[in-house]
Amino acid sequence: MNAPDARPRPRADRVNRGYLDAWREGRLVLQRCLSCGILVFYPRPMCPGCWSTDLTWTESPGRGTVVSFTRIHRPNHPAFFDELPIVLAEIALAEGAVLLARLVCPEPEAVTSGMAVQLSPAAAAEGHPLPTFVPEP
Ligand code: ZN
């Protein structure tokens, strides 16, 4: 595996900093609108439901199911060449939000829609710049 610091990193800004900082601690957080109550993902400056800017971070238990997925065999950055294939999955979290995330799986060919997944252990945050998931045992 390439050194984790060879990978491109997301740039933190005032909107996504809470999300990125939480993941560095191995936690998954989503925004919740304090006006209408919906969960918001990806991080945004305003609620897509009511346009309120009154958003707060809420921690997710990090459990969900795969809606759809793809296996990437040609990454757009050489830092990922040693990790192929990479599974990128649309994941429906139990609390209702849907996100796109990497699924780290020892058997990428075994991934199926409907598969139960959970947030990777906190130690994974050192090697992956964005939240990742693993199959539930
Ligand atoms: Zn709202």
Distance 36 CA to ligand 1 centre (A): 4
Distance 47 CA to ligand 1 centre (A): 5
pLDDT per position as a tens digit, 34-73: 999 999 999 999 999 999 999 999 999 999 999 999 999 9
Which pLDDT score is estimated for 129? 87
> What is the 8-class DSSP label of residue 11?
P
Which pLDDT score is estimated for 3? 53
Distance 88 CA to ligand 1 centre (A): 28
Q: Which residues surround ligand 1, an ion (CB under 5 A)?
A: 33, 35-36, 47, 49-50, 52
Q: Indicate the average pLDDT of the chain.
A: 93
Which pLDDT score is estimated for 124? 84
Of residues 114 and 129, more confidence is placed in 114
Which pLDDT score is estimated for 132? 95
Distance 40 CA to ligand 1 centre (A): 9
- Residue 2 pLDDT greater than 70, yes or no: no
Dihedral in degrees, nearest 10, Cα atoms 80, 85, 86, 92:
180
Cα distance between residue 6 and residue 2, in whole Å: 7
Query: SS3 helix, strand, coil % of the chain, rounded to 5?
Result: 20, 35, 50
Distance 25 CA to ligand 1 centre (A): 27
